[in-house]
Amino acid sequence: MPFSQSSQLSSIVGFLEMLQPTSILDIGVGMGQYGFLARTNLENEHLFIVNGANAIQRPKGEWKIRIDGIEAFKTYRTPIHDYAYDHIYWDDALDALPKINDNEYELVLAIDVLEHFTTEQGIIFLNQIKRVSKNKILISTPKTFIHQEVEANPFENHRSLWSESQLIEQGFVETIPNDFSWISIHSSASVHEKR
């Protein structure tokens, strides 16, 4: 369902903190855990205005980090989405991505998303996220096929298994070690320099 391997959390948050992006597209938002973690770990003290003994929440319009998301299953919506995200496209990623401008985001996250596409759809998806990224893409996908069919939400069905060599072939040449998932990084800067 809309959760990912807990073993990935610290590695992914560490990557976010190292990169310090000011714009993020989180694809496959689910319950919003990565948007919330990105908001609290990147925006952190900027979320509040502290004046001596007084503190108030800073208005959302003054936040420095733009975090958008894509989620196909509207039933997952919670107050976390309204808090952590600036905008969410409530649509299938393959339909939403073509509507987004080239080089729109410094970082694109697709955590436990790729396995929900067929291999052919996955290649289309990866090409689209390369197009909208102007710096880095971080994806994760299980190392072994996990059978999953969810009648209530077919977007959760697993349709493919990706190998490290397939990801490298698609330009995801950096890997963060993890026992259960490929956590792979694509650097978009070199792609855009060739244009």
Burial class of 118 by CB neighbour count within 10 A (0 to 12, 13 to 18, 19+): exposed
Q: Quick one: pLDDT at residue 146?
A: 76
pLDDT by 10-residue block (mean), the chain, 195 residues: 74 96 96 95 91 93 96 91 96 97 98 94 97 97 78 72 96 95 87 41
pTM tops 0.75? yes
- List all residues 6 or more positions away from 18 whose beta carbon is below 8 Å from its beta carbon: none
Under the phi-then-psi rule, with left for phi > 0, alpha for psi from -120 to 50, and beta for the rest, what region is 52?
A: left
